[in-house]
């Protein structure tokens, strides 16, 4: 089994496209409304594009009209890491894959969406791969 946390930047660059590397390994953000999963309603499991770890289920995906796929809960709390992010003059909570520590997006609370958790996991499409069920 690969310990994804030990993979070098050079190896990640070989495994990922330049755009994937920018978002997943350098905490970039893809432009809004262009990602392949922004408006997808296909049933399945969303996995980390870098390592394949299962992260989110389509049943927890909702339309937030924010320009990126939104989920109200991960598959399990141990699938992701949440950490304080003070970049770009903002205070946010970054979401990373727990298996490989790749950047996925951010989570926001208290925005008033009609979801069971009042959370919005705003995730870059390029960080995910959908496995249809």
Which domains occur in the chain, in start order? 4-132 (2.170.150.20)
pLDDT of residue 2: 75
Encode pLDDT of 39-89 as tens digits. 999 999 999 999 999 999 999 999 999 999 999 999 988 999 999 998 888
- Residue 110, Ramachandran bin (φ over 0: left; ψ between -120 and 50: alpha; else beta): left
Residue 51 designated active-site? no
Say yes or no to pLDDT of 3 above 90: no
Q: How far is CA 24 from CA 10, 19, 91, 131, in A?
A: 14, 9, 20, 19
| Residue 123 pLDDT > 90 | yes
Record the tokens describing residue 39, joined without a space: 């408006």
pLDDT at 1 over 70: no
Q: In this predicted structure, what is the pLDDT of residue 76?
A: 87
Supply the Cα-derived Rg of the chain in whole angstroms. Answer: 14
The predicted pLDDT at position 90 comes to 86
Q: In this predicted structure, what is the pLDDT of residue 4?
A: 85
Confidence at residue 5, expressed as pLDDT on a 0 to 100 scale: 79
Digit-coded pLDDT (tens) for 82-118: 999 988 888 899 999 999 999 999 999 999 999 999 9
pLDDT digits (tens, 9 = 90+) for 23-38: 999 999 999 999 999 9
CA 47 – CA 49 distance, rounded (Å): 6
């Amino acid at each position: 089994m690969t310990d994804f946390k030990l993979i070098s930047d050079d190896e990640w660059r070989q495994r990922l496209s330049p755009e994937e590397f920018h978002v997943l390994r350098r905490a970039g953000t893809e432009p809004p409304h262009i990602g392949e999963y922004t408006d997808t309603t296909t049933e399945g499991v969303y996995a980390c594009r870098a390592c394949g770890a299962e992260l989110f289920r389509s049943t927890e995906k909702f339309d937030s009209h924010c320009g990126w796929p939104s989920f109200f809960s991960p598959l399990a709390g141990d699938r992701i890491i949440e950490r304080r992010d003070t970049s770009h003059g903002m205070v946010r909570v970054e979401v990373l894959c727990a298996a490989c520590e790749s950047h996925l997006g951010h989570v926001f609370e208290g925005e008033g969406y009609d979801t069971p958790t009042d959370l919005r996991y705003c995730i870059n499409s390029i960080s995910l791969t959908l496995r249809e069920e």
